[in-house]
Amino acid sequence: MNRKELLRRLPKIDEVLKEESLVVLAEESSPLLVTEAVREVIGDIRSRILGLSEDGLAEFSVEILEPGRVAEAAARRLAEDEKLNLYPVINATGTILHTNLGRAPLCEDAVENVGRVSRGYSTLEYNVEKGMRGSRHDLVGELIAELTGAEDAMVVNNNAAATMIVLAALGRGKEIIVSRGELVEIGGAFRIPDIMAQSGAFLQEVGTSNKTKISDYENAIMTDEILEDYDFFEMDPRHTERFRTGALMKVHKSNYDIVGFTEEVELEELVELGRKYKLPVIFDMGNGLMLDMSEYGLREPNVPASLATGIDVILFSGDKLLGGPQAGIICGKKKYISKMKKHPLARAMRVDKMTFAALEATLAKYKDPKIALRDIPILNMIAASEDDMKERAERLAEEIRKVNSKLALELVRVEDQIGGGSAPMVRLPGWAVSVADGKRSADSIERRLRKAEVPVIARISDDRLLLCVRTIAENELATVAAAFR
């Protein structure tokens, strides 16, 4: 057929819009968007015809021009346009706090509370009893105090923001003493020395990469009292130039470990030193672990135990091992927390009602550690037993077999990780389903799984495609299987 004839046969927009499927779609969504989709599809076909070679013209299938086919293409395009950029995927990597996949999944009650609170108006800054303005800082302050032993708490956007405001409030124009073994970089642009510079505090590094002693901290401290003790004539001129110490700071080595000939100062010793010189002691703890999880192989500091040392200020993320929404939680002594609440940066870093809704519901679980372990997804994943995971892997293999009997499936042992820059040395023994397809490489299966309706993000190890079940929820098994159809 020649080009002119094909162009003549292109259906009219109105003609396509009469197709039953589109009439329904237009009623359900929007006549404007349906018409637009049809116009675009017809436009595309026209351009294609105009670009065809002689051979192409001879091979062109005229069915594409039927109104029914154009309507189908328009419906597909509409569905694609409606898809948002942020949508769920299934994490089959076995890495629990996968930063790229949104760190901690929320517990059911947190999700429900976000819906309840954000659908309408709420008590975000309103005290219902008194009928007057309230403060969003009070929403979770008492609960955090009850759970951790802190005097007061404050919530900001994330732990990077928490670090920034703590340093700005307690250290601006002064020195903050940090061990050289703890000058952490946490992915992206978060580096302790850089945040320090932004906050207006001065970093005073002490010790070495592998060893820092309490005397290293003490030798670096400079206070007005120390300066007074110097006899004018023997005064070391360096000391008159020096800034005063604002605080002592410990940073948790969240995403690395130093092994071999090492020494670091424990929180208790640092707290004692702070007392002696009346200096606040800050702990950037990072992960926000609220319970002792050492029986599950996780030997990390936790919030209540750290506060029990008498530390003045501790800060951590809401979406790491706490298992809640993205947030930075600062807690400790009231006199320091009040300073931060009044700091001009507090407004720039304040969080939304959705965060408070999710955070309060998550924190409430910790009133009973058993409930936290049962209901908070990431704690659940950490505590999952090998037997449970083997069973889940068996069920997943069964589901996959139901939809595709040609694949070679095998249950294999794997080592899962905490992820999210937390507990890098911990390996959790788990189970996975290894999937092989005679014709295809692991890479090619992995790509296809990412294109499923609900994308499945798998792990590839030694050229094998692995579906690690630790991070796949029970109610996601059938969805994972459906991706193999």
Ligand X SMILES: *Cc1c(COP(=O)(O)O)cnc(C)c1O
Among 74, 150, 165, 184, binds ligand X (CB under 6 A): 184
Helix (H) or strand (E) holding 330: strand 328-332
Contact present, 331 and 153 (Cβ < 8 Å): yes
417 binds ligand X (CB under 6 A): no
State yes or no: residue 421 binds ligand X (CB under 6 A): yes
CA distance 13 to 35: 7
Closest distance between ligand X and the C-beta of residue 168, in Å?
A: 15
CA distances, 364 to each of 143, 223, 342 (Å): 8, 42, 27
Provide the H-helix boundaries in 108-241: 108-119, 138-148, 159-171, 192-199, 214-220, 224-229, 237-241
Residue among 318, 283, 60 at smallest CA distance from 170: 283
Give the range of 114-122, 156-164, 364-372, 460-468 binding ligand X by CB under 6 A. 156-164
Phi/psi for 94 (5° steps) reads 80, 0
Of the pair 317, 355, the CB lying nearest ligand X is at 317
CB of 326 to ligand X, least distance (A): 7
Which residues fall within 8 angstroms of residue 39, CB to CB, at 6 or more apart?
Answer: 13
Taking CB under 6 A as the criterion, the residue among 136, 250, 252, 339 binding ligand X is 252
* Under rule CB under 6 A, residue 191 binds ligand X: no
- DSSP at 181: G
> Within positions 327 to 346, which residues make up the interface with ligand X, using CB under 6 A?
328
Q: Which stretch binds ligand X (CB under 6 A): 81-89, 237-245, 284-292, 375-383?
A: 284-292
Which one among 19, 152, 284, 446 touches ligand X, defined by CB under 6 A?
284
What's 278's DSSP letter? Answer: T
Which of the stretches 15-23, 136-144, 196-204, 250-258 binds ligand X when contact is defined by CB under 6 A? 250-258
424 contributes a contact to ligand X by CB under 6 A: no
Give residue 378's identity as a one-letter amino acid code.
I
CB of 252: closest distance to ligand X in angstroms? Answer: 5
Rule CB under 6 A: say whether 434 interacts with ligand X.
no
254 binding ligand X? (CB under 6 A): yes
Nearest residue to 73 (alpha-carbon basis) of 37, 49, 47, 31: 37
**Interacting residues toward ligand X by CB under 6 A:** 158-160, 163, 184, 186, 190, 251-252, 254, 284, 286-287, 317, 328, 421
